Amino acid sequence: MDLNLQINTKYKEEDTTDEPVSPSGQYFNSKTLSVRILGILESEIPIDDSNTFPLLEQLFLPINPRFSSIMVHDKKGVKHWKRVEVKLEEHVHVPKYPNGLSIEEYNDYFDKYLTEISIKPLPKDKPMWEIHFFKYPTIKSAGQVIFKFHHALGDGFSLMGALLSCMQRADNPSIPLTFPSIQPSSETKRMDDVGCVPKTMSAIYNTACDFGWSVVKSSMISDDKTPIRSGVQGVEFHPIQISTVELSLDHVKQVKNAIGATINDVITGIIFLGTRLYMQATGKEFSNSETTALVLLNTRNIDGYKSIKEMLKNDSNTKWGNQFAFLHVGLPSLVNDQSFNPLTFISQAQKTIKRKRNSLAVYLTGQSLEFLRKCRGPEASAEFIHSTLQNSTMTVSNMIGPVEKMSLANHPCKGLYFMVVGVPQSLTITIMSYMRTLRIAVGVEKGYIDAQKFNSSLENAFQLIYKAAMKNI
C-alpha cells in the first residue's frame, strides 16, 4: 500500500467539535426511514484480511469524521454527529462456512448472506458502517468485500469517493485512477443556481406541471399493483435478493452513437423496456399499467469525482453529503405489433428526463422539504420521502467507475457494483461502470419478483435495442 496515502489518525482538539446532522442525513435515519448502501467489490484473488485493522485506521477512518461518529440528540432534540472511540473489531465481519464445497454451493451461501446483511439495520450506538469479507470462491470471483454504509453518512457520490480514495491502479499504483468525462448539461447548471428564473413560457409550464404532479404523486396517487410492485406496507423490511447483469460498454456506446443519445439515455431505455417485457410476460394487462420510476439525479455541478479534501470543503457544488433529487418518470407502454420499435423506449425516456431537468421542479421539491422540516420537523419530511418512494414502483440510480483496473490492498478488483437497501419498494436498480463493462444490479423483493427472469428480460431488451440501432447505421 502506498505510504503517501496514509493519514495521521491523531485528531486535533478542534476536530472534536460535534457536527450538526444535515437535513437529508436526518431524513435517512429517522423513525420512518433507515436507508443503507452496499458496495460489493469482487476480488480476482483469495482475500487476505490480515492487514484490515491497520488499513482501516490509517486510510479509512481519517477520510471523514462521520466514520468515527454516532448520531445523537441534544437537549433541544437537534441531531449531531458525536465523535466516539471506534472499536474496529465490531465493524468487521467474516462469515464462516464449511470447507471443500463447490463454487455453486458457496455462491448460494453468498446470495443468502447478502440478503441477510441487506435487511439487517446498522446499530445506532456505534458508527454506521461495516465491512464484510466473504472469503470463499463464487461464480463471479475468488472472494468478495462488502462495504455497508448508512445513507445518512452521505450519498453514493460521497461514499464511492471515499471507497475509491483507498484504491490504487492495479497496473501502476503511483498513477491516479481516471474516470470517463462528465459534462454537466446547461439544464443541470441552471438547477443548481438558486436564483435562476425560467426564461421561457415552456419552462414555466413544465415547472408547474412537474412540481404539481410530483407533489400529487408523492402524497395522493400510487402506482398500480403489478408483478414488480407488491404495494404492501412495510415492504422495506422484507428480504431482498440482489443479482447483476453485465453489458458491454462498447456495445452501449455503439447504440448511443447510432441514435444520437447519451449513455444514460440508452441505459434508461434498456431498463424500462426490460421491465415492461418482464411485466408483460406475467400478464398482457400489465403492458400499460401505471408504473413510475424515480430516476436519481446528482445535483452537484461537477465534471467528475473530486478528492476527499475537495469534498470536505464548504462548497455546495462538491461537498460531502447527500446531494441528489428524484425525477418521476413514467414507463412507456409496451405494444407488441408490427409498428413496435424498441428504440422508442430510449427516445421517450430521453425526452421526458430532458424536459423535467429543464424545469425547476427539482429545486422547488427540495425547498418544499426544507419548508416542511422547519414547520413540522425532520420526521415530517422523512415521511414525505417515504411516501414518494412507496407510491412509485422502482428507483434507478447510476455511478461511474474507473476506466482502469484497480486494486484494494494489492487485491485486483474484478468487478464492482452497489445497491441501495431499506427503501419501501419491491424493485431497485443501480448501474455502475467499471473498465469496459456496465454492471446493472437488481434488488428485488424476495419471493415476489423472479430475479432470474427479470435479468433475462433486461438482457433481451438490450439485444432488441442493439439490433434496432445497428439497422440505422
Q: Do 79 and 209 have their domain in common?
A: no
**Domain annotation covers residue 412:** no
C-alpha cell at 318: 462538491
Q: What is the rounded distance in angstroms from the CA atom of residue 200 to the CA atom of residue 203?
A: 5
Residue stretches of the chain with pLDDT short of 50: 1-16, 184-198, 302, 305, 308, 311-312, 316-317
* Per-residue model confidence as pLDDT tens digits over 331-383: 998 877 666 899 999 999 888 888 877 778 877 887 888 888 889 988 998 99
Q: What is the pTM of this model?
A: 0.87
Residues 314 and 393 in one domain: yes
- Whether residue 177 is contained in a domain is answered as no
Q: Are 384 and 282 spatial neighbours (Cβ–Cβ below 8 Å)?
A: no
pLDDT at 75: 77
CATH number for the domain harbouring residue 321: 3.30.559.30
Question: Is the same domain home to 127 and 208?
Answer: no
Q: How many CA atoms are closer than 13 Å to the CA of 335, on its beta-carbon side?
A: 8
User: Can you tell me which residue has the cell 408483460?
Assistant: 280
pLDDT of residue 199: 55
> What CA–CA distance (Å, rounded) separates 218 from 239?
24
In this prediction, residue 16 carries a pLDDT of 45
408 Cβ contact list (under 8 Å, min separation 6): 41, 43, 145, 166, 167, 168
Number of alpha helices (DSSP H) and beta strands (DSSP E) in the chain: 13, 16
CATH of the domain at 76: 3.30.559.10
DSSP 180-211: ------HHHHHHH-TT----SHHHHHHHHHHH
Q: CA 431 from chain center: how many Å?
A: 8
DSSP track, 241-297: EEEEEEEEHHHHHHHHHHHT--HHHHHHHHHHHHHHHHHHHH-GGGGG---EEEEEE
Quickly tell me which residue has 485512477 as its cell: 177
Domain that holds residue 396: 186-400+426-470
Taking only the tens place, the pLDDT of each residue in 216-264 is 888 889 999 999 999 999 999 999 999 999 999 999 999 999 999 999 9
Show Cβ contacts of residue 19 under 8 Å, excluding neighbours closer than 6 positions. 65, 66, 69, 80, 81
Do the domain assignments include residue 328? yes
